[in-house]
Amino acid sequence: MKQERLERAAAEAKLSELAGWALNDTASAISKTFKFSNFIEAFGFMTQAAITAEKLNHHPEWFNVYSRVDVTLNTHDAGGLTELDFKLARAMDKAAARGAV
């Protein structure tokens, strides 16, 4: 499924419906840091997010240390942001809502 790249204004509109996500300077990616109470909570979140990512065939760039997970979303096939990034962001927020601190 070919996704169209969202221009800055469209990306900002979608971003305004989310909490804690930031747009980068070139409007080509969104990022968020998730904090949990320990490594198991963080890894549980990553496991749920991984299952969703695989279903969507859309994969996060992320970095985990102990209870923290830094996430960056971007659609490399489109060279920027697409609806898929926001779909995955919403799913990650839902997954995190169970274990986030």
Ligand X SMILES: C[C@H](O)[C@H](O)[C@H]1CNC2=NC(N)=NC(=O)C2=N1
State in angstroms the smallest separation of the CB of 37 from ligand X.
Answer: 28
What is the rounded distance in angstroms from the CA atom of residue 81 to the CA atom of residue 45? 23
What is the rounded distance in angstroms from the CA atom of residue 101 to the CA atom of residue 85? 23
State in angstroms the smallest separation of the CB of 8 from ligand X.
Answer: 19
Q: Which residues bind ligand X (CB under 6 A)?
A: 57-59, 74-77
- Residue nearer to ligand X on the CB measure, 28 or 75: 75
State in angstroms the smallest separation of the CB of 98 from ligand X.
Answer: 23
Orientation of helix 39-56 relative to helix 83-99, angle to 10°? 150
H helix runs in 1-38, sequence order: 8-15
- Residue nearer to ligand X on the CB measure, 95 or 99: 95
